[in-house]
């Protein structure tokens, strides 16, 4: 496997992670917008508590902490899925291919 294919794989993984972060941001923003005018039940309103959590998530995107946690999930998921195909992603070196390097 050439370095171009490895770079291409890294780009694909980065694109998937960007799409997941975008999906999280859009879904959290949609929930806040849809529940802004709900019938509040008072101090222990679960909708207000969840809106507060969503606002915290959106504010942490600037810190990078949510990006760190959101990026771990797809990385672990992809690693688990690619373990059976480990030989495909390992680059073929002369040592691994057991080539003789005679002059």
In this prediction, residue 89 has a pLDDT band, given cuts at 50, 70 and 90, of: low
| Non-local CB neighbours of 88 within 8 Å, separated by 6+ positions | 1
Average pLDDT taken over every residue of the chain:
78
Q: Going by C-beta distance under 8 Å and a sequence separation of 6 or more, which residues neighbour residue 61?
A: 21, 25, 67
Please tell me the predicted confidence (pLDDT) of residue 87. Answer: 67
Q: Model confidence over 43-67: pLDDT tens digits? A: 888 888 888 888 887 777 766 666 6
Residue 16 predicted with pLDDT over 80? yes
| pTM of structure | 0.50
């Amino acid at each position: 496997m050439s370095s171009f294919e490895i770079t291409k794989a890294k780009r694909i993984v980065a694109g998937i992670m960007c799409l997941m972060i975008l999906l999280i941001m859009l879904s959290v923003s949609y929930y806040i917008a849809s529940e802004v005018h709900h019938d509040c039940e008072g101090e222990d309103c679960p909708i207000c508590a969840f809106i507060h959590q969503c606002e915290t998530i959106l504010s942490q995107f600037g810190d990078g902490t949510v990006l760190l946690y959101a990026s771990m999930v797809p990385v672990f998921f992809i690693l688990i899925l690619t373990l059976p195909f480990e030989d495909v992603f390992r680059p073929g070196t002369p040592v691994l291919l057991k080539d003789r390097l005679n002059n």
